[in-house]
Amino acid sequence: MNLYKELNKLKQITRTGWERWHVGVDKVESVADHTYGTAILAMIIHSELKLDLNIDRVLKMILLHETEEVRIGDIRPFDDPEKVKLKKTQGYNQAAELLDNLNQSDEYKAILKEYYQNETKESIFAHQCDKLEAILQSDIYREKCDIHSEQNKKTREDLQRAGVDIKEDDDLLSMFAGYGVEAKYFDDDFMAIVNEILARN
**Whole-number pLDDT of residue 55:** 98
**Whole-number pLDDT of residue 33:** 97
**Whole-number pLDDT of residue 200:** 83
Please give the full DSSP string across the chain, using - where no structure is assigned.
Answer: -HHHHHHGGGGT-B-HHHHHTT---SSPPBHHHHHHHHHHHHHHHHHHHT--S-HHHHHHHHHHHGGGHHHH----TTS-HHHHHHHHHHHHHHHHHHTTTSTTHHHHHHHHHHHHHT-SHHHHHHHHHHHHHHHHHHHHHGGG--TTSGGGHHHHHHHHHTT----TT--HHHHHHHHHHHTT---HHHHHHHHHHHHT-
**Whole-number pLDDT of residue 53:** 97
Question: Is 140:201 a contact under the CB 8 Å cutoff?
Answer: no
Listed as ranges, residues in the chain with pLDDT below 70 are 75-81, 83-88
Question: Is 141:172 a contact under the CB 8 Å cutoff?
Answer: yes
User: How far from 175 is each of 68, 139, 148, CA to CA, in Å?
Assistant: 27, 10, 11
**Whole-number pLDDT of residue 113:** 94
Question: Structure pTM?
Answer: 0.91
> Can you say whether residue 73 is alpha, beta or left, with left for phi > 0 and alpha for psi between -120 and 50 degrees?
left
Phi, psi of 50 (to 5 degrees): 55, 50
Architecture, CATH, for domain 2-199: Orthogonal Bundle (1.10)
**Whole-number pLDDT of residue 91:** 80
**Whole-number pLDDT of residue 81:** 66
Question: Is 20:4 a contact under the CB 8 Å cutoff?
Answer: no
Within 13 Å of residue 124, how many CA atoms lie on the same side as its CB? 13
